[in-house]
């Protein structure tokens, strides 16, 4: 039974930015994701949490055109045909070791053959926003894990995609860097208001960043609950954690998630 | 501390060959070494001067290097292109891999008569030999280099909308380059071996010819000059390739 704490249907008649209808993906006999339908409003920041192996990454890979669904459809509403429909910030190291910070951040724009002046402006802007301007000529091996992930974020934003996909981008970072990068991400997002689909296994991160949180069931992945996050923006992710409502919401989401995590663990044991 | 150790290591590595050459020379002068077979460093150096003054050695070095260079391009360019195609495409790999696996173990020197038959006694047979020597290590290393590229980089290319050509230039080629370079070094070594062998048969110039001709006229010193020159060429080429590698791959961690 899917729980929707607040009606997900938007009041305006504007078409959703992302429409996922009856999506299923099977690998042989294994069903990663099933019966998955979701509309995402333009400009909303949607978090997806679920136990490991619930098909979160499969869902994102389908949206990123890196995998195709066995059943169902995924549509992204394009506002401008010259923009890419999506850009992904991958889990773990994904920036090219053979390119400088600058060339990595400019990757999507260069592939599209944007003119040099525009690339310079856009990449300069996002390197500045991610605090990487000084490191533009460095190679990834000279950077810390946090800085490498900043490059990945700059690279995704720089292509100005319709939808930004984030696959546990901060999971490899320590707590302090994670918090810093969450705040930086929100700051950039406040300026751009891109539609974001963000996968995480951290309930805490989901509440700190998202407008809506989607809890998924243990495999096969379906939507278990959709929860609205009421905190106003712009947010300060550290101060937010001091508010009683924050703790309550984290606790409530754990209520949905707990059963699924236990089920996932039980399936692993088998 | 570390710097002093490095200086000491360098000193040792320079001193060892000098001491050995000194012992050789002393042994030859004392009559402990048979100079009919082993000559002596001084005699070899003197012969080098003679061959250098007549221009003979430079002519042969030039001819051999030219064959090596052309052969390197003829064998190397298709090896890199095919190697990358094999790394990127499962079907290309399935088509070509068995051919490589079956022909690779054949000693290149054993194919030389066939190469002579097909390409004749002229330049092309030597160039083809070098090309064969360069081709195999390079295609195998290139393919392996592409295959070991982390999948995530291919995903990134795809996600950011790279075309086939862009995938080649931005992901496959740079990602495989360290491995390609290892292949180039192996290939150049193999090329040197094969150019020497093929010039010994059916050639009238080149270092291999010089060495073979020296054997037939029992001119031991000339033979040694040829060997030393080949050794020096190999060493200089490897230093040169190390520098090119540093320049082309600034993104590799310090090793």
Range with the poorest average pLDDT among A23-27, A118-122, A261-265, B143-147: A261-265
Structural domain count, chain B: 1
Q: Which of A135, A160, A185 is the last residue of a domain?
A: A160
pLDDT confidence of residue B103: 93
Residues whose CB is less than 8 angstroms from the CB of residue B73 and which lie 6 or more positions away in sequence, other chains included? none
Does residue A112 share a domain with residue A93?
yes
B166 CB within 8 Å of a chain A CB: yes
**Quick one: DSSP state of residue A226?**
E
Does residue A92 share a domain with residue A47?
no
Task: Report pTM.
Answer: 0.83
Does residue A29 share a domain with residue A7?
yes
Q: Is residue A16 part of a domain?
A: yes
Please determine, for residue A67, whether its predicted confidence score (pLDDT) is greater than 60: yes
Q: Is residue B254 part of a domain?
A: no
The answer to whether the beta carbons of residues B215 and B223 sit under 8 Å apart is yes
H helix or E strand, kind and range, residue A71: strand A71-76
Digit-coded pLDDT (tens) for A188-214: 999 999 999 999 989 999 999 999 999
Q: Is residue B7 part of a domain?
A: no
Quote the Cα angle for B169-B172-B173, to 5°. Answer: 60
Question: For residue B92, what is the domain's CATH number?
Answer: 1.10.3720.10
pLDDT confidence of residue A2: 66
**Quick one: DSSP state of residue A221?**
B
Q: Other C-beta atoms within 10 Å of B5: how many?
A: 9
Digit-coded pLDDT (tens) for A112-139: 999 999 999 999 999 999 999 999 999 9
- Please report, rounded to a whole number, the percentage of residues in chain A having pLDDT higher than 90: 79
Two structure tokens written together for B211: 């060495």
- Please report, rounded to a whole number, the percentage of residues in chain B having pLDDT higher than 70: 97
How large is the average pLDDT for residues A66-89? 92
Please determine, for residue A7, whether its predicted confidence score (pLDDT) is greater than 90: no
Structural domain count, chain A: 2
Please determine, for residue A40, whether its predicted confidence score (pLDDT) is greater than 50: yes
Asked if A98's CB is within 8 angstroms of B251's CB, the reply is yes
Question: What is the number of alpha carbons within 13 Å of residue B158 lying toward its C-beta?
Answer: 14
Q: Is residue B15 part of a domain?
A: no
Does residue A25 share a domain with residue A63?
yes
Two structure tokens written together for A88: 């992904």
Contacts 24+ apart (CB under 8 A), A140-148: A140/A93, A140/A95, A140/A96, A140/A97, A140/A99, A140/A101, A140/A104, A140/B251, A141/A97, A141/B251, A141/B252, A141/B253, A143/A101, A144/A177, A145/A93, A145/A172, A145/A173, A145/A177, A146/A173, A146/A177, A146/A180, A146/A181, A148/A93, A148/A95
Q: Is residue B104 part of a domain?
A: yes
Range with the poorest average pLDDT among A29-33, A264-268, B145-149: A264-268
Using CA atoms of A40, A41, A47, A49 in order, give the dihedral in degrees to the nearest 10: -30
Two structure tokens written together for B179: 């491995």
Does residue A234 share a domain with residue A114?
no
Range with the poorest average pLDDT among A54-58, A68-72, A178-182, B1-5: B1-5
Q: Is residue A145 part of a domain?
A: yes
Tell whether omega for the bond before A137 is within 30 degrees of 0, i.e. cis.
no
B246 CB within 8 Å of a chain A CB: no
Q: Is residue B18 part of a domain?
A: no
Residue listed under structure tokens 């053979």: A98
> Each residue of A12-50: b (16+ CB within 10 Å) or e?
eeeebbbebeebbbeeeeebbbbebebebbbebbbbbbb
List strands edge to edge, sheet with A18-27: A30-40, A18-27, A71-76
How large is the average pLDDT for residues B138-158? 95
Please determine, for residue A65, whether its predicted confidence score (pLDDT) is greater than 80: yes
DSSP letters for B46-73? HHHHHHHHHTHHHHHHHHHHHHHHHHHH
Nearest Cα to Cα of residue B66 among B120, B126, B152, B109? B126
Q: Is residue A183 part of a domain?
A: no
- Within 8 A of A88 by CB-CB distance, chain B residues are 155-156, 159
Question: For residue A43, what is the domain's CATH number?
Answer: 3.40.50.300
Q: Is residue B121 part of a domain?
A: yes
Average pLDDT, chain A: 91
d(CA A221, CA A183): 29
The CA distance from B176 to the nearest CA of chain A, in Å, is 10
How large is the average pLDDT for residues A45-51? 94
The answer to whether the beta carbons of residues A158 and A188 sit under 8 Å apart is no
Per-residue pLDDT band for A1 (boundaries 50, 70, 90) equals low
Does residue A7 share a domain with residue A76?
yes
Write out the residue range of the structural domain in which residue A37 sits: 3-83+163-169+195-269
* Interfacial residues of A (vs B; Cβ cutoff 8 Å): 64-66, 84, 86-88, 90, 92-94, 96-99, 107-108, 111-112, 139-141, 155, 159
pLDDT confidence of residue A80: 87
Q: Is residue B106 part of a domain?
A: yes
Nearest Cα to Cα of residue A165 among A76, A229, A233? A76
Asked if A97's CB is within 8 angstroms of B251's CB, the reply is yes
Range with the poorest average pLDDT among A148-152, B9-13, B51-55: B9-13
Two structure tokens written together for B238: 């490897």
- Please report, rounded to a whole number, the percentage of residues in chain A having pLDDT higher than 70: 95
Asked if A84's CB is within 8 angstroms of B160's CB, the reply is yes
Does residue A98 share a domain with residue A125?
yes
Asked if B158's CB is within 8 angstroms of A98's CB, the reply is no
B178 CB within 8 Å of a chain A CB: no
How large is the average pLDDT for residues A215-232? 91
Digit-coded pLDDT (tens) for A97-109: 999 999 999 999 9
Residue listed under structure tokens 């991958």: A90
Q: How much of chain A is in helix, strand and coil states, percent to nearest 5?
A: 40, 25, 35
pLDDT confidence of residue A11: 44
Per-residue pLDDT band for A6 (boundaries 50, 70, 90) equals low
Write out the residue range of the structural domain in which residue B63 sits: 45-248
Q: Is residue A141 part of a domain?
A: yes
Digit-coded pLDDT (tens) for A234-264: 999 999 999 999 999 999 999 999 988 888 8
Please determine, for residue A169, whether its predicted confidence score (pLDDT) is greater than 70: yes
């Amino acid at each position: 039974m899917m729980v929707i704490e607040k009606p997900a249907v938007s009041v305006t008649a504007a078409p959703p930015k992302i429409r996922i209808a009856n999506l299923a993906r099977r690998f042989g006999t294994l069903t990663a994701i099933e019966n998955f339908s979701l509309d995402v409003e333009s400009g909303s920041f949607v978090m997806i949490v679920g136990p490991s192996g619930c098909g979160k990454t499969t869902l994102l890979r389908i949206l990123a055109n890196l995998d195709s669904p066995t059943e169902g459809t995924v549509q992204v509403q394009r506002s401008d045909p010259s923009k890419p429909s999506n850009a992904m910030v991958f889990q773990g190291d994904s920036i090219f070791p053979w390119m400088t910070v600058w060339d990595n951040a400019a990757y999507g724009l260069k592939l599209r053959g944007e003119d040099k002046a525009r690339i310079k402006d856009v990449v300069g802007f996002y390197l500045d926003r991610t605090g990487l301007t000084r490191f533009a000529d460095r190679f990834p091996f000279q950077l810390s894990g946090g800085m490498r992930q900043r490059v990945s974020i700059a690279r995704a934003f720089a292509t100005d995609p319709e939808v930004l996909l984030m696959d546990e981008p901060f999971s490899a970072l320590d707590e302090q860097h994670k918090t810093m990068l969450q705040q930086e991400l929100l700051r950039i997002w406040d300026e751009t208001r891109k539609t974001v689909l963000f996968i995480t296994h951290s309930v805490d991160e989901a509440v700190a960043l998202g407008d809506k949180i989607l809890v998924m069931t243990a495999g096969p992945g379906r939507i278990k609950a959709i929860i609205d996050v009421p905190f106003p923006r712009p947010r300060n992710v550290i101060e937010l954690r001091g508010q009683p409502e924050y703790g309550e919401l984290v606790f409530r989401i754990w209520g949905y998630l707990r059963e699924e995590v236990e089920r996932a663990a039980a399936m692993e044991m088998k | 501390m570390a710097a002093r150790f490095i200086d000491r290591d360098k000193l040792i590595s320079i001193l060892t060959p000098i001491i050995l050459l000194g012992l050789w020379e002393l042994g030859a002068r004392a009559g402990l070494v048979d100079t009919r077979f082993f000559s002596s460093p001084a005699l070899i150096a003197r012969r080098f001067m003679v061959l250098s003054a007549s221009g003979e050695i430079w002519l042969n070095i030039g001819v051999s290097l030219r064959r090596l260079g052309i052969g390197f391009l003829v064998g190397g360019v298709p090896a890199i292109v095919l190697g990358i195609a094999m790394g990127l495409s499962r079907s290309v790999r399935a088509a070509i891999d068995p051919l490589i696996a079956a022909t690779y173990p054949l000693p290149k020197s054993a194919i030389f008569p066939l190469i002579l038959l097909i390409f004749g006694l002229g330049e092309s047979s030597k160039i083809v030999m070098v090309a064969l020597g360069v081709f195999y290590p390079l295609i195998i290393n290139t393919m392996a280099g592409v295959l070991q590229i982390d999948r995530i980089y291919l995903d990134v290319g795809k996600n950011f909308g790279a075309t086939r050509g862009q995938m080649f230039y931005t992901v496959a080629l740079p990602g495989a380059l360290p491995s390609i370079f290892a292949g180039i070094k192996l290939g150049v070594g193999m090329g040197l071996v094969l150019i020497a062998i093929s010039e010994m048969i059916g050639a009238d110039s080149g270092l291999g010819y010089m060495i073979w001709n020296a054997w037939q006229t029992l001119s031991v010193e000339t033979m040694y000059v040829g060997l030393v020159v080949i050794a020096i060429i190999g060493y200089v080429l490897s230093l040169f390739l190390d520098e090119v590698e540093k320049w082309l791959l600034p993104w590799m961690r310090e090793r």
